[in-house]
Amino acid sequence: MTQASLLSQAKQGDAQAIESLMNQALRPAGIQVRLLVFQSCLTVMAIAKTVPDRKFMVNFVQRGMGSLSSANGLDIQQVLVQGFLQGNRTPQWQVTLVENGGKFVLSPEETAPQPAPPTPFQNPPELNETASLQGDRPLQGSPVSSSASRSIPKPALDAPALDASEPRPKASPISSKLRQPQAAPATYRKPLSPAQRWVMGIGGWILAGAIALGLRVIIALLAETQVYTLPYAGELLQSMEVAELLNLIIFAVLGLGMGLSAIILPRRWGIQLSAVVLTLLVPAIFMVSPAVRHQLWLRQVSDAQQLTPAAVLEKMDQFLESRVEETGLLGFYVYTAKYSKLPIAAEDTNSVSALDKQVNLTLADAARVPETEVAKFLEWGTWGIRGFYFLVATFAAVSHFRQGISLRDL
């Protein structure tokens, strides 16, 4: 294969062509490399009879990958550079580089390479048209010993140990002969296209939202039909809305799913759009529990008074408007914060309010404060509990969203 052909294929993202160019440039230095591509991570394994110089290899990869940053076929966002001693499986050192504006720089978590002892190669070559990549010619501007300029046979990495002295089959594909150190065999996978990323990312949004919504509905139904109907304790548990404690699980699932979707989407917009969608979903899914309770209440009234759903909705909206000046789900939510009882039968519409007033008067007499102050205290106490549960839901969603995003670096 000609030099021009190799360069052309490398600029199109061909990993094997990039590997060949690197090997041509590093052959005079007595270093041989193997490339491993997994999703958007490129692993560069440098093998030599002595430990490859870390600073030299990092600079070499930075300049080489920078000149190929316009490649269309290889979506590389992270490069892991490793130095191997010939015959060893475990790398002697490794450095992580991340893509930043077309350049590959040290990752924020990576400590900059420490200065190494001087080597003959102070000016690492670049993988571009101006680099000296022909045969065994030494690197320009660098003195090379005669022993270092001899050609080194290409090794295969399927052996139990990394050995640069064994022959390497020329026809075997890169995916079949490369292995990650101390890891299961990996294969080359073609990077996802932007369209595939959008489909999978939006699908992740829908799946995470559907799972959280389903869990919210199931827990609300179980609480209203099984827990809050218990004698004696049921009303106390309902007043404290204890089922809302499970928000920690529900919104953790939602946040983690949205975070995973964010790292699938194109890097430029994935996190921002997923954060916006999460911001909209958290309050919407939080209000599912009151909506379930509202619908169950309307069904109970319909069964007790033998009314059609439309007639029940109209009648109860009139009742809510007369008590809290709001209708629908909002009116129901405000009413349940102010009053503990919901009317079911037709005669209950007046008696439940009287019962709440009597309870407030009893508490006012015991505390020696006005009845209106007691009613206000109980109402704001309910809103405080609801606010606490909403903060729990928000915290769980945000923290697990960030956890999902952090999996990008694994």
Q: Is 0.85 topped by the overall pTM?
A: no
The answer on 219 and 107 residing in a single domain is no
Same domain, 340 and 216: yes
82 and 153 in one domain? yes
| pLDDT at 109 > cutoff 80 | no
Tell me: pLDDT of 329 over 70. yes
Percent of the chain with pLDDT over 70: 71
The answer to whether residue 184 is domain-embedded is no
In a domain, 14, yes or no: yes
Q: What are the tens digits of pLDDT across the range 168-215?
A: 444 434 433 334 444 444 444 567 788 888 999 999 999 999 999 999
**166: confidence class by pLDDT, cuts 50, 70, 90:** very low
Residue type, 393: A
From CA 79, how far away is CA 217, in angstroms rounded? 44
Task: Confirm if 288 and 213 have CB atoms less than 8 A apart.
Answer: yes
Read off the DSSP letter of residue 120. Answer: S
> Does 161 lie in the same domain as 202?
no
The span from the CA of 5 to the CA of 3, in Å, is 5
- Does residue 189 sit within a domain? no
How many structural domains comprise the chain? 2
Please give the Cα distance from 262 to 198 (Å, whole number): 10
My answer on whether 152 and 296 are in the same domain is: no
Q: Are residues 199 and 245 in the same domain?
A: yes
End-of-domain residue from the set 115, 146, 177: 177
| Structure-block tokens of residue 103 | 């350049």
Quote the CA–CA distance of 91 and 85 in Å, as a whole number: 7
For every residue of 317-329, DSSP letters joined together read: HHHHHHHHS--HH
Q: In this predicted structure, what is the pLDDT of residue 154?
A: 40
The pLDDT tens digits for 6-56 are 777 777 767 788 888 888 889 888 999 988 887 778 899 999 999 999 899
Rounded to a whole number of angstroms, the CA Rg of the chain reads: 33
Are residues 314 and 382 part of one domain? yes
Which residues on adjacent β-strands are paired with residue 100?
103
Pair 214, 326 in one domain: yes
- Cβ contact 333:374 at 8 Å: no
pLDDT tens digits for range 216-235: 999 999 988 888 888 877 77
Query: What are 159's two structure tokens?
Result: 């052996």
pLDDT of amino acid 343: 83
Looking at the fold, whether 168 and 269 belong to one and the same domain comes out as no
**Is residue 182 domain-resident?**
no
- Cα(267)–Cα(101) distance, rounded to whole angstroms? 12
259 and 399 part of one domain: yes
* The last residue of a domain, from among 145, 177, 209: 177
Residues 104 and 219 in one domain: no
Q: What is the pLDDT of residues 287-297, one digit of tens each?
A: 999 999 999 99
Please check whether residue 98 lies inside any domain of the structure. Answer: yes
- The answer to whether residue 33 is domain-embedded is yes
pLDDT at 167 over 90: no
**C-alpha to C-alpha distance for 40 and 189, rounded to whole angstroms:** 9
Q: Clarify whether residues 105 and 224 are in a common domain.
A: no
In a domain, 185, yes or no: no
Tokens of 204: 């992740």
Containing domain of residue 113, as a range?
A: 3-177
54-67 vs 15-26: helix axis angle to the nearest 10?
Answer: 130
Asked whether residue 183 is assigned to any structural domain, the reply reads no
Q: Which of 150, 177, 204 is the last residue of a domain?
A: 177
Helix (H) or strand (E) holding 150: none
Residues 204, 276 contacting (CB under 8 angstroms): no
